[in-house]
């Protein structure tokens, strides 16, 4: 009874905390989330575009009890997140906070410990009550030998039959939930586990066809780089850091917008998200709030239908509640609010550089300005990571007069610049040294 009273108190707080956020975006959503008809974005059952803004609480099921999970999920909802990316079974033989491991033997995926999965289900249920999407990796592949596709070859040893059986179990066990996506893989390419991963995905899809599936490959790779159009792959996840970042095990990192432009041009068309990139609070200045905003805006303005945020709370250290207050995370709600001031699902990336005609900066660098224009040419956004003079081609917009404003991605404020005739290009410089978004409509 105490736990359910706490849920009621938290939900009352949540309603007050996010009322302003709901008003600013003007949307509530009817799950399950599906892929739009044109394949570019997510929408709910009423056709409303759904922006994917995820936190990577990877070890949520393992590290937090139900009461702590409620605290975490309420906070993420209040700060504007719409999804949580999690590992279901953690690392090999890892037990959750209740001391339960997913399998009685990691060598046999059929030796299920139902108490473990009941705990996970209770957390998914809390997220469902908050209208949060849970994006679940059932068997984390692992970058460095810690996962089920690592050096011990657990997925290979279990093979396609047991892997598919586990997938069917998961689909059936969680089939009543409309707030679930699935992540096959996890920080690595399929390699020797390809057959088992394919079978796992097929098993989930056979039991829960309404739950969408993506693949989490190694950094600099996307889902569609490592899979050739399997029937179960609904979404592509892109994963990269930025040029010059030398902390990843793959040192040849591309910038987010480079990877986004490549993914946007691929066929068949799938919605894609930036599923992982630099984590706030890690690797010194590389994990700054500015870098967090850069990669989020770069992802969306290069064609993604959303992005994932990361912090040390992927593993929930002792000070995890303090980490919830990191400034980069708090500022991301303004990206979502900005998008919902327009029909953001219409955005088409300015891949050819036809809109920002001067001043974008050096391409393939960590200081490049990106732009996206609505398909009906009624508005455009330009993200500038630093103060720089840019020239934009107003003729790319449809109206004779263009209203121009600066949007502050830290505070969420608009500053109107003026109204301009579109006959001539417009040259502007942001008002301060920080990052800014130029809004034209």
Tell whether 311 and 352 lie within a shared domain.
Answer: no
Distance CA 50, CA 71 (A): 24
Per-residue tens of pLDDT for the chain, all 441 residues: 555 555 555 555 554 444 444 444 446 899 999 999 999 999 999 999 999 999 999 999 999 999 999 999 999 999 999 999 999 999 998 999 999 999 999 789 999 999 999 999 999 999 999 999 999 999 999 998 899 997 778 999 999 999 999 999 999 999 999 999 999 999 999 999 999 999 999 999 999 999 999 999 999 999 999 999 999 999 999 999 998 888 777 778 999 999 999 999 999 999 999 999 999 999 988 999 999 999 999 999 999 999 999 999 999 999 999 999 999 999 999 999 999 999 999 999 999 999 999 999 999 999 999 999 999 999 999 999 999 999 999 999 998 999 999 999 999 999 999 999 988 999 999 999 999 999 999
Residue ending a domain, among 340, 364, 399, is 340
pLDDT reported for residue 7: 59
CA atoms within 13 A on the CB side of 303: 24
Order of strands, sheet of 414-421, starting from the edge strand that comes earlier in the sequence? 347-349, 370-374, 380-384, 436-440, 401-407, 414-421
Tell whether 307 and 434 lie within a shared domain.
Answer: no
Residue ending a domain, among 290, 324, 340, is 340
Tell whether 319 and 358 lie within a shared domain.
Answer: no
Give the pair of three-digit tokens for residue 290. 């500015």
Tell whether 336 and 372 lie within a shared domain.
Answer: no
Distance CA 138, CA 185 (A): 8
Q: What is the pTM of this model?
A: 0.95
Cβ atoms < 10 Å from Cβ of 321 = 13
Tell whether 40 and 131 lie within a shared domain.
Answer: yes
Please name the residues in contact with 207: beta carbons below 8 A apart, sequence gap of 6 or more: 167, 168, 169, 170, 171, 172, 175
Maximum alpha-carbon separation in the chain: 70
Kindly calculate the radius of gyration of the chain based on its CA atoms and give it in whole angstroms.
Answer: 22
Residue ending a domain, among 319, 340, 361, is 340
Q: At 156, which CATH number?
A: 3.20.20.80
Tell whether 287 and 379 lie within a shared domain.
Answer: no
Tell whether 357 and 312 lie within a shared domain.
Answer: no
Place of tokens 């990361």: 310
Could you tell me the residue range of the domain that residue 371 belongs to?
347-440
Place of tokens 């997938």: 167
Which of 341, 335, 306 minimizes the C-alpha distance to 435?
335
Which of 203, 232, 199 minimizes the C-alpha distance to 215?
232
**DSSP strands (E only) in 15-61:** 34-35, 42-43, 49-50, 52-55
Tell whether 333 and 351 lie within a shared domain.
Answer: no
Tell whether 33 and 139 lie within a shared domain.
Answer: yes
Tell whether 224 and 289 lie within a shared domain.
Answer: yes
Tell whether 287 and 235 lie within a shared domain.
Answer: yes
Tell whether 225 and 271 lie within a shared domain.
Answer: yes
Give the pair of three-digit tokens for residue 397. 């917009």
Domain count, the chain: 2
Distance CA 438, CA 415 (A): 10
Distance CA 108, CA 61 (A): 21
């Amino acid at each position: 009874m105490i736990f359910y009273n706490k849920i009621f108190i938290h939900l009352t707080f949540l309603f007050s905390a996010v009322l302003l956020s709901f008003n600013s975006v003007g949307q509530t959503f009817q799950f399950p989330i599906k892929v739009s008809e044109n394949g570019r974005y997510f929408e709910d059952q009423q056709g409303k575009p759904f922006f994917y803004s995820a936190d990577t609480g990877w070890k949520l099921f393992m590290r937090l009890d139900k009461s702590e999970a409620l605290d975490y999920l309420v906070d993420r909802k209040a700060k504007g997140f719409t999804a949580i990316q999690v590992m279901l079974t953690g690392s090999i033989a890892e037990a959750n906070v209740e001391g339960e491991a997913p399998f009685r033997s990691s060598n046999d995926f059929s030796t299920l410990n139902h108490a473990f999965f009941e705990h996970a289900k209770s957390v998914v249920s809390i997220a469902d009550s908050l209208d949060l999407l849970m994006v679940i990796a059932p068997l984390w592949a692992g970058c460095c030998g810690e996962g089920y596709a690592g050096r011990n070859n657990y997925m290979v040893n279990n093979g396609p039959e047991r892997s598919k059986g586990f997938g069917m179990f998961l689909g059936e066990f969680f089939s009543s939930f409309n707030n679930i996506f699935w992540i096959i893989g996890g920080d690595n390419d399929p390699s020797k586990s390809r057959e088992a991963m394919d079978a796992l995905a097929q098993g989930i899809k056979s039991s829960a066809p309404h739950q969408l599936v993506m693949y989490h490959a190694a950094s600099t790779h996307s889902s569609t780089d490592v899979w050739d159009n399997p029937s179960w792959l609904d979404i592509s996840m892109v994963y990269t850091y930025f040029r010059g970042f030398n902390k990843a095990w793959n040192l040849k990192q591309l910038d987010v917008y480079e990877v986004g432009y490549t993914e946007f041009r691929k066929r068949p068309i799938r919605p894609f998200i930036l599923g992982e990139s630099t984590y706030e609070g890690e690797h010194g200045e590389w994990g700054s709030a500015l870098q967090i905003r850069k990669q989020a805006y770069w992802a969306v303005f290069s064609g993604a239908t959303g992005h994932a945020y990361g912090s040390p709370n992927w593993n929930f250290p002792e000070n995890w509640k303090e980490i919830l207050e990191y400034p980069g995370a708090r500022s991301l709600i303004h990206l979502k609010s900005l998008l919902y001031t327009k029909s953001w699902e219409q955005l088409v990336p300015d891949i050819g550089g036809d809109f920002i005609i001067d001043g974008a900066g050096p391409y393939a660098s960590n200081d490049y300005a990106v732009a996206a224009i609505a398909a009906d040419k009624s508005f455009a956004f330009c993200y500038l990571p630093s103060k720089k003079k840019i020239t934009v081609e107003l003729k790319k917009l449809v109206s004779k007069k263009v209203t121009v404003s600066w949007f502050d991605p830290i505070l969420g404020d608009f500053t109107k610049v003026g109204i301009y005739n579109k006959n001539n290009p417009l040259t502007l410089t942001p008002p301060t040294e920080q990052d800014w978004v130029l809004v034209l409509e």
